[in-house]
């Protein structure tokens, strides 16, 4: 995490140190052809842009005080990269699952301390609700029914603050629950955004 923050700060500094942009100049093809993909989006999602492509387009064409609009938000690569560069960004999305996941990028506007507080609070609430004491607890590996999960989730939602609900909504999407899917406390506890 510290390395990623360092990289984000370096990118932001590089972006802000640039001169005024020329909008009628084409980008060289080697910049558009991401041959060495070193990063990917936080969420696996079909059809997403390579983060380096988005970064290159922002570097080439966005003024330092730009506000970025992504009309096809998807997994949120554009708003995430814009946020890493210190730009305001907004997006629109029709797919409810993609929209729910992309809401997690609102956390980029919070301080690291506030993000850690929110994650700690959610973790404590999940541990209490799911009665997870430790890895060796037999309940940790037992399957939950969909009904049990719905009941636990309903109780959890009653306890959540605004930003906490964004994280929990994303976790539910990532769990990919279906009628034929076995769900354990271990899966719930180890699902990561």
pLDDT, residue 109, reads 79
Query: What whole-number percentage of the chain has pLDDT above 70?
Result: 66
Instruction: Estimate to the nearest angstrom the gap between the alpha carbon of 169 and the chain centroid.
Output: 12
Give the separation between CA 125 and CA 119, rounded to whole angstroms.
Answer: 10
pLDDT, residue 136, reads 55
pLDDT, residue 69, reads 93
State both tokens at 139: 């309940």
Residues 41-65: tens digit of each pLDDT: 555 555 567 888 888 889 888 888 8
Label the pairing between strands 88-91 and 67-70. Answer: parallel
- Answer for the pair 47, 73: CB distance below 8 angstroms, yes or no: no
State both tokens at 93: 């999305």
Asked if pLDDT for residue 81 goes beyond 80, the answer is yes
State the pTM of this model.
0.63
Give the separation between CA 120 and CA 116, rounded to whole angstroms.
Answer: 6
Instruction: Estimate to the nearest angstrom the gap between the alpha carbon of 188 and the chain centroid.
Output: 17
Asked if pLDDT for residue 7 goes beyond 80, the answer is no
Measured from the Cβ of residue 77, the count of other Cβ atoms closer than 10 Å reads 26
pLDDT, residue 68, reads 92
pLDDT, residue 51, reads 85
Rg (CA), the chain: 20
């Amino acid at each position: 995490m510290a390395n990623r923050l360092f990289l984000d700060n370096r990118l932001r500094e590089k972006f802000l140190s640039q001169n005024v942009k020329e909008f009628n100049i084409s980008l060289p093809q080697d910049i558009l052809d991401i041959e060495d993909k070193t990063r990917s989006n936080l969420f696996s999602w079909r059809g997403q842009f390579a983060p380096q492509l988005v970064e290159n387009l922002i570097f080439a064409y966005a003024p330092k005080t730009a506000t970025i609009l992504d009309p096809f938000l998807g997994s949120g690569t554009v708003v995430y990269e814009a946020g890493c560069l210190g730009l305001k960004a907004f997006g629109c999305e029709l797919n409810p699952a993609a929209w729910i996941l992309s809401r997690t990028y609102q956390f980029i506007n919070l301080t690291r301390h506030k993000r850690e507080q929110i994650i700690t609070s959610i973790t404590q609430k999940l541990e209490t609700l799911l009665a997870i004491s430790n890895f060796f607890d037999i309940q940790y590996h037992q399957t939950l029914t969909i009904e049990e999960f719905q009941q636990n989730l309903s109780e959890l939602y009653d306890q959540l603050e605004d930003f906490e609900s964004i994280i929990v909504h994303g976790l539910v999407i990532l769990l990919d629950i279906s009628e034929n899917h076995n769900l354990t406390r271990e899966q719930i506890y180890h699902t990561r955004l």
